[in-house]
């Protein structure tokens, strides 16, 4: 069975629901405190997927994701590199995206990790924003988002403005590493609030590493795995009922977790 390690501790707070989403997708998910992993790093070998869930690690003090990234860099860097080098999967959601950006797991140009070249800065509104956004899928190489051309997910963050130098950004595009962009209707959001909720460069909501096996994204797919989690499900329900169609149980975000589990299964991770 595919095993996912969902990291927790120090203010991480989306561990339960993220583990739930992996279980629902057919994986065995364990929530592991970062100090337990530090005490026994060898346990990482048993897992095929490493998950950095959302939350407020260290309360965003000294920059979102920075303090937890420092801890991991200081105490877990080698086992982490071993994990990544064995072609396993890593996903960072929201605060997890901030952590793996600070760790330099992204963008991972030329297969090298550890350098910080992308960042999630304070939202343009300088305020925490909780809202549903539309996303357009771009990357063909990202294993998590295969077959997802568009999706609606909630965002909830104060520091989600994707920032990189022009050179880094050009490389991301060239390498097909842009996974999601915020969208409005059929087009990208073109920076317009609230469709682009934070002022991200070129509406970037998520990127992957060069291999497509490490994904970081600000929106929360684990919050849209049930029909009744969607912002507009009461309206959808009325429309479905009147065309005598049954209500679905699941929702679009689950596919991201299923893709990961399927890939891990196929590749014996």
Please give the residues from 109 up to 168 whose contact with other proteins meets the rule CB under 8 A. 116-119, 121-131, 154, 156, 158, 161, 163-165
Q: 78 pairs with which residues across the strands?
A: none
Q: What b/e sequence results for 68-102 when a residue is b if at least 16 CB atoms lie within 10 Å of its CB, and e otherwise? A: bbebbeebbeebbeebbeeebbbbbbbbbbbbbbb
Minimum separation from the CB atom of position 269 to other proteins (A): 25
Closer residue to other proteins in complex, CB, 189/269: 189
- 240 lies in the site for other proteins, by CB under 8 A: no
Handedness of CA 257, 97, 13, 73 (dihedral sign): positive
170 lies in the binding site for other proteins (CB under 8 A): no
Verify binding: residue 177, other proteins, rule CB under 8 A.
no
Q: Is 222 a catalytic residue?
A: yes
CB-based contact 187:193 (threshold 8 Å): no
3-class DSSP state of 162: strand
220 is catalytic: yes
- Residue 10 sits in the site that holds other proteins (CB under 8 A): yes
Among positions 45, 81, 228, 266, the unique one binding other proteins when judged by CB under 8 A: 228
State CA 99 to chain mean position distance.
11
184 contacts other proteins (rule: CB under 8 A):
no
Given 94, 157, 159, 208, the catalytic residue: 94
Q: What residues pair up with 161 in beta bridges, in sequence order?
A: 121
Which of 6, 37, 222, 258 lies at the binding interface for other proteins (CB under 8 A)? 222
Per rule CB under 8 A, is residue 71 in the interface with other proteins? yes
**Among residues 66 and 88, whose Cβ is nearest to other proteins?**
66
Of 98, 5, 107, nearest in space to 59 by CA: 98
Applying CB under 8 A, among 47, 56, 138, 169 the residue interacting with other proteins is: 56
**Does residue 237 interact with other proteins by CB under 8 A?**
yes
Give the separation between CA 15 and CA 200, rounded to whole angstroms.
25
- Residue of the chain from 52, 58, 83, 97 that contacts other proteins (CB under 8 A): 58
Q: How many residues bind to other proteins according to rule CB under 8 A?
A: 71
Query: What residues does 133 pair with on adjacent strands?
Result: 153
Cis before 213? omega within 30: no
State how far the Cα of 82 lies from the Cα of 222, in Å rounded to an integer. Answer: 27
Q: Minimum CB separation from other proteins for residue 96, in Å?
A: 13
Of 51 and 269, which has the nearer Cβ to other proteins? 51
Residue from 28, 110, 220, 250 carrying the catalytic annotation: 220
Q: List the catalytic residue out of 78, 130, 222, 238.
A: 222
SS3 254: helix
Is 82 catalytic? The answer is no
Letters for 32-51 (x = contact with other proteins by CB under 8 A, - = none) are: -x-xx--x------------
In 10 A of CB 222, how many CB atoms?
A: 27
Residue holding tokens 């297969």? 111
Residue numbers annotated as active site = 94, 220, 222
């Amino acid at each position: 069975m595919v095993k996912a390690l969902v990291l927790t501790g120090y203010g991480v707070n989306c561990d339960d629901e993220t583990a739930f989403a992996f279980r629902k997708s057919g994986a065995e998910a364990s929530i592991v405190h970062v100090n337990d992993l530090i005490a026994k790093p060898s346990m990482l070998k048993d897992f095929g997927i490493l998950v950095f869930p959302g939350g407020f690690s260290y309360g965003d003090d000294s920059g979102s994701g920075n303090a937890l990234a420092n801890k991991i860099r200081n105490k877990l860097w080698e086992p982490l590199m071993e994990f990544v080098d064995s072609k396993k999967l890593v996903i960072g959601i929201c605060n997890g995206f901030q952590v793996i950006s600070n760790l330099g797991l992204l963008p991972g140009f030329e297969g090298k990790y550890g350098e910080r070249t992308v960042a999630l800065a304070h939202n343009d509104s300088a305020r925490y924003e909780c809202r549903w956004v539309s996303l357009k899928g771009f990357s063909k190489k990202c294993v998590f988002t295969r077959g997802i051309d568009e999706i609606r997910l909630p965002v909830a963050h104060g520091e989600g403005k994707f920032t990189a130098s022009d050179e880094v950004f050009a490389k991301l595009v060239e390498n097909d590493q842009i996974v999601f962009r915020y969208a409005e209707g059929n087009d990208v959001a073109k920076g317009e609030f609230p469709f682009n909720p934070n002022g991200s460069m070129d509406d970037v909501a998520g990127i992957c590493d060069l291999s497509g096996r490490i994904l970081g994204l600000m929106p929360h797919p684990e919050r849209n795995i049930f029909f009744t989690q969607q912002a507009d499900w009461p309206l959808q329900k009325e429309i479905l009922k009147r065309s005598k169609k049954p209500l679905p149980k699941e929702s679009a975000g689950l596919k991201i977790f299923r893709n990961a589990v399927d890939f891990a299964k196929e590749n014996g991770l």
